[in-house]
Structure 1
């Protein structure tokens, strides 16, 4: 009699799969198992043969037929998998996997000593049991508690669990556990008995990526862990989590304490598609990379000011999406009023040969459009000097745009630059001189000086405001040249001076409180950077 059943998890030569069909296949003899491989590249079809469909695959192309008598890898309970990984495998190979032993560091000692360390399972604080064919918690939970008395982090990625209840029983048996990863498992049953719903308060971090589950099933799973603050449910098909989606995120037991949520690699197309997350009062980190996000609001929605607001989010990862319009930054600034750090690389907005970094121009426009609360962009700190340069550059692009358009288009143009008034307050009101013949006179240009800065090793050309003080200018130039501004002096170099017979005049810029335009009137100048000790 066959022991196979629909939903059964199997392992063939360390390749995991789920039984989706049991029976005959037309045109062949004997019985078959229709399986869906966890690794879709192992599949040959999506559950059909010669025009007849026998089962459905959640991952297209991941299906195969195998004979029921094909030998499968033996499943493990938790303790048998643990011992196989950390005792049997070590004894066979003599090469232990990297692992923590509380505060004790493993030194390069003889194999017998290393093997002894691994046999002392009660000293382990972190355990990695991925691909160990674990199917059940096992019967003796007291033995689990004694064997893993100090276990704090447990990774059960890609195993043979079919019942969520088995994972819950395991977590209840490990009182010091605060981190659990069940990524890549394929649960058949998400129901949990009432007797197991308590005793999970010690779990703070839950990683449940790539479970191929519906939102309802994920909700039921997450709702059993009542004290989680860091949640990852990445890799799936979620398109939106709005108030009209049932069940609601805000109805989770952890809604009032959730601090970080990872929704990477789903099918989310706009930030407004996650409107229900606004109701999470402690949410600080929102990770949304590798989605399909193009805008803050979907095309069908109006941009009512204040409509969307994530009041406590300070870190947002929007990298590897489909953002292609600068207005995304303006809408995002309003939707995330306390945002402190942003990751936004690898979007069409920044179509460069090296997508890991932004060009100088795109970096400056990004910083110029962002609010002043944002202090980190793509993992790099935005310094005050960089912010000032970026805002001045952004102002210049707006002025240039306004100067070549009729006055009646000004309101429409400025509606796409929502920081305009704020930036004028910070950097001074701009005068727009329109020349519709195409010869624009940039109002900001008269306030900037193009400076060629020369040292003994290199020359750099940058624009600085006329009103910058010599002291601040020394700081900015010191940063560019990688030197301490207290160790350098600046000299104004003037060529072709009539009073000097057409020669070169050097003027020491000694007064650090003087503004640059005290010394010059030209639009382009040359400065020399010299070491004070010379």
Structure 2
């Protein structure tokens, strides 16, 4: 009967969880209905309306439907019932369940076929994944949980039927060694926890609270129940601002001073300045912002209004991949705003083109490396080698010189304003001469600085413009990377034609790694042959 149901109740039908939003009649039909919002919006038929009449609201448009109260529903579990069903019944019969998905993130379950062979030894488990196990409550016998799960350190309770956060707290209180908790994809309606059970949350160091469909105020209250969290993920939501004008502030969290890693992926931030409050977190090292809408460090309205530039002094790892960055000056602002950054992930942004991968080309990779601080030693999870950095900086210098040489002197300040690392690069690689007269005569503004070099290795030939000042050692490193060869295993030969007669050719081994290229080449073009030593 419909009377056994209530608004906010969590149900599961065919292993698909939903929340009751409406109980009653629907005009034009007979009998009572349950209006539900499915956790998976793809199962929905509408947003709570029928024939122009609104019956309930959905937090996600299109996630609602009407179902009959008398249809069969999955039986809810307690924590231990879900644990035993998963690790005794299900694994023994079917093996590892399917991966679970939050937004575009996939959490894979690995190695649990081994657990199925030891299903009678639940007290040996240190990590369990109990997603979609219809868990709604904690068992009454706390001691049974403690003895059954004596060594449990990590628990994933994602996508279950919890309505009250206190039920989660009761479970955590019973698990004496627990330090990592995932409650992703739950639809908690009540977030208060009675004092006797708050100690269960005080042991949690890593918290995954993704895709909870809560307002910021609700999410703050929930997260604030975990005072000692250092690794926090509140990804997959609609967060837009973490600034001093927003209340409550992230800085007000009990765990604020201890946060080391913060994941805000798949939210709705548009600029780094939208998370200005986070620069005041004293111990934050990792900041994950993938799959937001970020275009710039500063918005077009606040760039000139900020009294003090953003400065995330503690951040050493930043993930800004899969956003909407399309301007190279973004990297200059990142260099200034994250002065101690050591690793950056920035792939799959419009900055790198409109192809499906949006990964940096070779030249884009070089410009990216050259615009970043030398403290950055990892780009998109690849280590930046010293020779790669030197080559990148020389290439970037050549592009700036080209731009300066091809434009009038009165535009120099405007151009250099777009290349804010120019003074530092000049100090590192020597002061560069801008030869505009040469550009007018030859239409090649870099003729005095670059040598157009044809390089042949086996059956492959490439043409590159190389700075005259590049050393033979660095050149070997660059060529090795271009052809996928070990620089220590190759030798470079300069090929000169017509030295003695019209048909004569001379090859000169470039043996001195400390000599610059223009020691051997006096022309504006050169041919090199690469041979294995």
So what's the TM-score if we normalise by structure 1? Answer: 0.92
SS of 1:453's partner is: strand
Q: Distance in 1 between matches of 2:50 and 2:388?
A: 62
After superposition, the Cα gap between the structure-2 partners of 1:477 and 1:320, relative to the gap in structure 1 and judged at 3 Å, is: closer
Question: How big is the shift at 1:451?
Answer: 2.4
Correspondence for 1:55: 56
Q: Distance in 1 between matches of 2:517 and 2:455?
A: 14
Which sits farther off after the overlay, 323-332 or 255-264? 323-332
Correspondence for 1:339: 341
Question: How big is the shift at 1:435?
Answer: 6.2
Correspondence for 2:148: 147
Which sits farther off after the overlay, 401-410 or 137-146? 401-410
Residues 2-81 of structure 1 correspond to what in structure 2 (within 5 A)?
2-81=3-82
Q: Distance in 2 between matches of 1:481 and 1:360?
A: 12
**Are 1:399 and 1:442, in contact at CA under 8 Å, matched by a contact in 2?**
no
Correspondence for 1:293: 294
Correspondence for 1:409: 411
Q: Distance in 2 between matches of 1:445 and 1:194?
A: 76
Correspondence for 1:109: none
**Are 1:451 and 1:526, in contact at CA under 8 Å, matched by a contact in 2?**
yes
Correspondence for 1:323: 325
**Are 2:495 and 2:505, in contact at CA under 8 Å, matched by a contact in 1?**
yes
After superposition, the Cα gap between the structure-2 partners of 1:306 and 1:333, relative to the gap in structure 1 and judged at 3 Å, is: farther
After superposition, the Cα gap between the structure-2 partners of 1:137 and 1:488, relative to the gap in structure 1 and judged at 3 Å, is: same
**Are 1:364 and 1:393, in contact at CA under 8 Å, matched by a contact in 2?**
yes
After superposition, the Cα gap between the structure-2 partners of 1:366 and 1:96, relative to the gap in structure 1 and judged at 3 Å, is: closer
Residues 260-279 of structure 1 correspond to what in structure 2 (within 5 A)?
260-279=261-280
After superposition, the Cα gap between the structure-2 partners of 1:10 and 1:223, relative to the gap in structure 1 and judged at 3 Å, is: same
Correspondence for 1:419: 421
In the alignment, structure 1 residue 504 sits paired with structure 2 residue 511: no
Q: Distance in 2 between matches of 1:212 and 1:59?
A: 8
CA displacement 1:105-131 (0-9 Å, x = unmatched): 94xxxxxxx766112110111111111
After superposition, the Cα gap between the structure-2 partners of 1:430 and 1:205, relative to the gap in structure 1 and judged at 3 Å, is: same
**Are 1:352 and 1:358, in contact at CA under 8 Å, matched by a contact in 2?**
no
Residues 84-483 of structure 1 correspond to what in structure 2 (within 5 A)?
84-93=85-94, 95=95, 106=114, 117-303=118-304, 306-434=308-436, 444-483=446-485
Unaligned runs of 5+ in 2: 98-108
**Are 1:404 and 1:435, in contact at CA under 8 Å, matched by a contact in 2?**
no
Q: Distance in 2 between matches of 1:20 and 1:279?
A: 40
**Are 2:174 and 2:200, in contact at CA under 8 Å, matched by a contact in 1?**
no
Question: How big is the shift at 1:363?
Answer: 1.7
Q: Distance in 1 between matches of 2:279 and 2:520?
A: 54
**Are 1:433 and 1:441, in contact at CA under 8 Å, matched by a contact in 2?**
no
Correspondence for 1:521: 522
Q: Distance in 1 between matches of 2:430 and 2:324?
A: 35
After superposition, the Cα gap between the structure-2 partners of 1:241 and 1:521, relative to the gap in structure 1 and judged at 3 Å, is: same
SS of 2:464's partner is: strand
CA displacement 1:275-320 (0-9 Å, x = unmatched): 1111111111111111111111111113458521111111111111
**Are 1:284 and 1:312, in contact at CA under 8 Å, matched by a contact in 2?**
yes
Question: How big is the shift at 1:262?
Answer: 0.7
After superposition, the Cα gap between the structure-2 partners of 1:390 and 1:305, relative to the gap in structure 1 and judged at 3 Å, is: farther
After superposition, the Cα gap between the structure-2 partners of 1:372 and 1:92, relative to the gap in structure 1 and judged at 3 Å, is: closer
Question: How big is the shift at 1:510?
Answer: 3.3
After superposition, the Cα gap between the structure-2 partners of 1:40 and 1:337, relative to the gap in structure 1 and judged at 3 Å, is: same
**Are 1:227 and 1:257, in contact at CA under 8 Å, matched by a contact in 2?**
yes
Question: How big is the shift at 1:192?
Answer: 1.3
Question: How big is the shift at 1:328?
Answer: 1.2
Q: Distance in 2 between matches of 1:227 and 1:491?
A: 62
SS of 2:436's partner is: coil
After superposition, the Cα gap between the structure-2 partners of 1:377 and 1:429, relative to the gap in structure 1 and judged at 3 Å, is: same
**Are 1:31 and 1:67, in contact at CA under 8 Å, matched by a contact in 2?**
yes
CA displacement 1:425-465 (0-9 Å, x = unmatched): 11222222336997775554422222223334433333333
Q: Distance in 2 between matches of 1:440 and 1:314?
A: 46
After superposition, the Cα gap between the structure-2 partners of 1:235 and 1:510, relative to the gap in structure 1 and judged at 3 Å, is: closer
Q: Distance in 1 between matches of 2:228 and 2:23?
A: 41
SS of 1:65's partner is: strand
After superposition, the Cα gap between the structure-2 partners of 1:127 and 1:507, relative to the gap in structure 1 and judged at 3 Å, is: same
SS of 1:33's partner is: strand
Q: Distance in 2 between matches of 1:355 and 1:125?
A: 38
Which sits farther off after the overlay, 189-198 or 79-88? 189-198
Tell me the number of residue pairs that the alignment of Structure 1 and Structure 2 aligns: 520
Correspondence for 2:103: none
Q: Distance in 2 between matches of 1:254 and 1:203?
A: 11
Question: How big is the shift at 1:70?
Answer: 1.7
Q: Distance in 1 between matches of 2:421 and 2:443?
A: 22
Question: How big is the shift at 1:229?
Answer: 0.9
Q: Distance in 2 between matches of 1:96 and 1:506?
A: 64
Question: How big is the shift at 1:356?
Answer: 4.6
SS of 2:282's partner is: coil
After superposition, the Cα gap between the structure-2 partners of 1:496 and 1:91, relative to the gap in structure 1 and judged at 3 Å, is: closer
Unaligned runs of 5+ in 1: 107-113
Which sits farther off after the overlay, 338-347 or 503-512? 503-512
CA displacement 1:244-270 (0-9 Å, x = unmatched): 211110111111111111111111111
CA displacement 1:68-94 (0-9 Å, x = unmatched): 22221100000011111111224444x
Question: How big is the shift at 1:413?
Answer: 2.1
Question: How big is the shift at 1:398?
Answer: 2.1
After superposition, the Cα gap between the structure-2 partners of 1:115 and 1:370, relative to the gap in structure 1 and judged at 3 Å, is: closer
Question: How big is the shift at 1:368?
Answer: 2.0
Question: How big is the shift at 1:99?
Answer: 6.1
Which sits farther off after the overlay, 392-401 or 183-192? 392-401
Q: Distance in 2 between matches of 1:220 and 1:229?
A: 17
